[in-house]
Amino acid sequence: MNKQSVKDVDVKGKRVFCRVDFNVPMKDGQVTDETRIRAALPTIQYLTEQGAKVILASHLGRPKGQAVEELRLTPVAKRLSELLGKDVKKTDEAYGEAVKAEIETMNEGDVLLLENVRFYAGEEKNDPELAKSFAELADLYVNDAFGAAHRAHASTEGIAHHLPAVSGLLMEKELDVLGKALSDPERPFTAIIGGAKVKDKIGVIENLLEKVDNLIIGGGLAYTFVKSQGHEIGKSLLEEDKIDLAKSYIEKAKEKGVNFYMPVDVVVADDFGEQANTKVVAIEEIPADWEALDIGPKTREIYKDVIQNSKLVIWNGPMGVFELDKFAQGTKAVAQALADASDTYSVIGGGDSAAAVEKFDLADKMSHISTGGGASLEFMEGKALPGVVALNDK
Ligand SMILES: Nc1ncnc2c1ncn2[C@@H]1O[C@H](COP(=O)(O)OP(=O)(O)O)[C@@H](O)[C@H]1O
Ligand SMILES: O=C(OP(=O)(O)O)[C@H](O)COP(=O)(O)O
């Protein structure tokens, strides 16, 4: 990476404003998935070991510029403290005199967590005044929030204009792994794109066609492609205004010699839910009143073969509605194929794909699980990430 990292600068005795992505799922005031907290530990531990005063900042949820009680970071501070095995103080604000006074009392190696930065309207607007207020708290800025690197906000981008700014270790690792995968991919290189966000992901597909040998489409977004080939898709998910684009991508794949895989059979349901009647049908036989909610057994076999014969696979988005057991087989088959393909480097991006891999207990069999969904997609699309661009060059 051409950006300075925390290892390129002297941090001893310095007040370090470290932006992390602690946007973790919570239920009843408890953190329910601590993956992102664990992922930030190497940077936090490095900074404390080096004698920095570590001031952590994060967003949680989308409170829209005002304080929302359920979105305070207090439970995160508690969990972080347990994981670090040391006291983590938490302030009720993210800047200002009370926060400065608290920082005054910090010793080298201490860790402080600021309140949710999105409680302030200026955060998402990238307000320069708020960025300055954050910068006043510290001597150095470290951005370790890969999951929020695609956002140009006061704590991810603005602040970097007011302090020496370097990347954290997680940020560096994410960019290295994804960057290597895309710039000098081991071949055959396969991308698997699923999920439901057709609008978000269609741009990625175009960019990936320039790079991959195989492109596998599954999940809800597959049916816009299926429809573009003239098949009826019943009540399956459809993005009407993307049909022509989908068709053009299939043509582009042919021109480029990219193998383009779509479902050949699907699990259809007469209702959305565990109680639905289901059956497996060929792709050209989806009944008008039914909805395709998973890829079928023949498709699973084909996708499995492609995965097994690949050296590098990036996977974003589930193959079906995996949250319901009836429609989880396709996603499970892909996850299992990746787990079994020991010679294949597997990169998982996207909250739901990561959750699926966790659900099937296969997370430790994947080569890299990215902490950023939107961020990894934008990176793969070839877009610059504002939170990275703003950091000091090497
Ligand atoms: N065939 C389908 N029809 C409707 N929804 C689907 C289908 N396949 C997958 N999904 C849904 O897509 C959601 C995940 O999509 P998305 O947010 O795009 O993925 P990710 O978070 O991995 O990027 C899941 O909740 C899943 O239930
Ligand atoms: O969870 C996140 O995004 P992701 O679900 O795309 O990985 C990041 O914390 C960014 O959050 P945001 O999409 O509210 O800016």
Are residues 185 and 147 located together in one domain of the fold? no
Q: 15: annotated binding-site residue?
A: no
Residue among 339, 342, 346, 344 at smallest CA distance from 361 = 339
The enclosing domain of 87 has a CATH number of 3.40.50.1260
Which of these three, 112, 136, 168, is where a domain ends? 168
Q: Answer yes or no: is the C-beta of 62 below 6 A from any ligand 2 atom.
A: yes
Within-domain flag for 392: no
Q: Answer yes or no: is the C-beta of 234 below 6 A from any ligand 1 atom.
A: no
Is 78 catalytic? The answer is no
- Residue identified by tokens 């310095």 is 14
Q: Answer yes or no: is the C-beta of 374 below 6 A from any ligand 2 atom.
A: yes
Helix ranges (DSSP H) in the chain: 35-49, 74-84, 97-104, 121-125, 128-135, 169-183, 198-208, 222-228, 243-256, 297-308, 329-340, 351-359, 374-380, 386-389
Q: Which atom of ligand 1 is nearest to the CA of 322?
A: 27
Amino acid at 16: V
Within-domain flag for 376: yes
pLDDT at site 202? 86
How far apart are alpha carbons 215 and 208 in whole angstroms?
A: 8
Cβ(316)–Cβ(194) under 8 Å? yes
Residues 243-294 pLDDT 10s? 999 999 999 999 999 999 999 999 999 999 999 999 999 999 999 999 999 9
Cβ(87)–Cβ(129) under 8 Å? no
Residues 25-41 pLDDT 10s? 898 999 988 989 999 99
Which of these three, 168, 202, 222, is where a domain ends? 168
pLDDT at site 168? 98
Q: Answer yes or no: is the C-beta of 353 below 6 A from any ligand 1 atom.
A: yes
Ligand nearest to the CA of 353: 1
Are residues 200 and 231 located together in one domain of the fold? yes
How far apart are alpha carbons 86 and 41 in whole angstroms?
A: 12
Q: Answer yes or no: is the C-beta of 351 below 6 A from any ligand 2 atom.
A: yes
Residues 354-377 pLDDT 10s? 889 989 999 999 999 999 988 998
Are residues 188 and 261 located together in one domain of the fold? yes
Are residues 154 and 257 located together in one domain of the fold? no
Q: Answer yes or no: is the C-beta of 387 below 6 A from any ligand 2 atom.
A: no
pLDDT at site 383? 87
Which of these three, 146, 168, 190, is where a domain ends? 168
pLDDT at site 381? 78
Within-domain flag for 6: no
pLDDT along the chain (394 residues), means of 10: 94 98 92 92 98 98 96 98 97 98 98 98 98 98 97 98 98 93 90 91 89 96 97 97 96 98 98 94 97 98 98 95 96 98 91 89 94 88 93 96
Q: Answer yes or no: is the C-beta of 39 below 6 A from any ligand 1 atom.
A: no
Are residues 164 and 200 located together in one domain of the fold? no
CA 385 to ligand 1 centroid distance, Å: 24
Are residues 209 and 111 located together in one domain of the fold? no
Probe target for ligand 1 pocket from 352, 379, 380, 381, with the most ligand atoms within 8 Å of CB: 352
Are residues 156 and 237 located together in one domain of the fold? no
Within-domain flag for 4: no
Within-domain flag for 7: no
CA 259 to ligand 1 centroid distance, Å: 23
Are residues 198 and 73 located together in one domain of the fold? no
CA 374 to ligand 2 centroid distance, Å: 6
pLDDT at site 255? 97
Name the residue with the closest Cα to ligand 2, atom 12. Answer: 148
pLDDT at site 204? 86
The CB density around residue 183, as the number of other CB atoms within 10 Å, is 8
Are residues 141 and 187 located together in one domain of the fold? no
Q: Which atom of ligand 1 is nearest to the CA of 197?
A: 18
Strand order in the sheet with 259-261: 259-261, 214-217, 189-193, 312-316, 345-349, 368-369
Name the residue with the closest Cα to ligand 2, atom 10. Answer: 148
Q: 187: annotated binding-site residue?
A: no
Rg of the chain over all Cα atoms, to the nearest angstrom: 22
Q: 79: annotated binding-site residue?
A: no
Q: Which residue in the list 14, 19, 36, 227 is annotated as catalytic?
A: 36
Ligand nearest to the CA of 375: 2
Please report, for residues 20, 42, 90, 120, the alpha-carbon distance to residue 74 in angstroms, rounded to integers and kept in the order given: 15, 21, 7, 17
How far apart are alpha carbons 194 and 268 in whole angstroms?
A: 17
Residue among 202, 194, 176, 212 at smallest CA distance from 312 = 212
Are residues 295 and 322 located together in one domain of the fold? yes
Are residues 195 and 116 located together in one domain of the fold? no
Within-domain flag for 220: yes
How far apart are alpha carbons 327 and 331 in whole angstroms?
A: 8
Four-residue CA torsion sign, 372, 26, 77, 84: negative
Q: Decide the pairing of beta strands 53-57 and 88-90.
A: unpaired
What is the chain's percent helix, strand, coil content, to nearest 5?
40, 20, 40
Is 374 catalytic? The answer is yes
Is 359 catalytic? The answer is no
Is 197 catalytic? The answer is yes
Within-domain flag for 71: yes
CA 324 to ligand 1 centroid distance, Å: 11
Are residues 207 and 124 located together in one domain of the fold? no
Q: Answer yes or no: is the C-beta of 373 below 6 A from any ligand 1 atom.
A: yes
Within-domain flag for 310: yes
Number of domains in the chain: 2
Residue-number span of the structural domain to which 288 is assigned:
176-380
